[in-house]
């Protein structure tokens, strides 16, 4: 969905109660960031926010994320110098499916 920006989430269909894997190789990674944090929230008001330190890998930066809500998942990324990648103010948003 945001491949052009270097943001990947698997599985393609994210379900509440499951874990998702997020890979980031966007502008912060391209600019030489040594560490990247994923800022996570749910819904239009960024509910239940938390920051998760991502691990640097050959693919970029990666982190596992337990999906704890069925509201849309919002992501933004920041480095240790407080530079942000928030998709030009639009954030990275992923729909969450409920379990059947």
pLDDT tens, 74-99? 999 999 999 999 999 999 999 999 87
Q: Model's pTM, two decimal places?
A: 0.94
Name the residue with tokens 């698997």. 10
H helical segments located in the chain: 27-30
Cβ atoms of 9 and 94 closer than 8 Å:
yes
Cβ atoms of 61 and 50 closer than 8 Å:
no
**Distance of alpha carbon 27 from alpha carbon 18, whole angstroms:** 28
Q: What's the pLDDT tens digit per position in 46-79?
A: 999 999 999 999 999 999 999 999 999 999 999 9
Name the residue with tokens 């800022």. 39
Q: What percent of the chain has pLDDT over 90?
A: 94
What is the pLDDT, as a whole number, of residue 99? 76
What is the pLDDT, as a whole number, of residue 98? 84
**Distance of alpha carbon 85 from alpha carbon 100, whole angstroms:** 34
């Amino acid at each position: 969905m945001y491949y052009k920006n270097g943001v990947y989430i698997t599985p393609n269909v994210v379900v509440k109660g499951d874990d998702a894997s997020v890979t980031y190789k966007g502008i912060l990674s391209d600019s030489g960031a040594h560490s990247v944090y994923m800022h996570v929230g749910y819904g239009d008001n960024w509910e239940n926010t938390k920051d998760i330190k991502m691990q640097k890998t050959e693919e970029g930066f990666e982190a596992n994320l337990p999906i704890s809500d069925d509201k849309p998942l919002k992501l933004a990324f920041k480095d240790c110098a407080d530079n942000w990648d928030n998709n030009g103010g639009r954030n990275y948003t992923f729909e969450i499916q409920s379990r059947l």
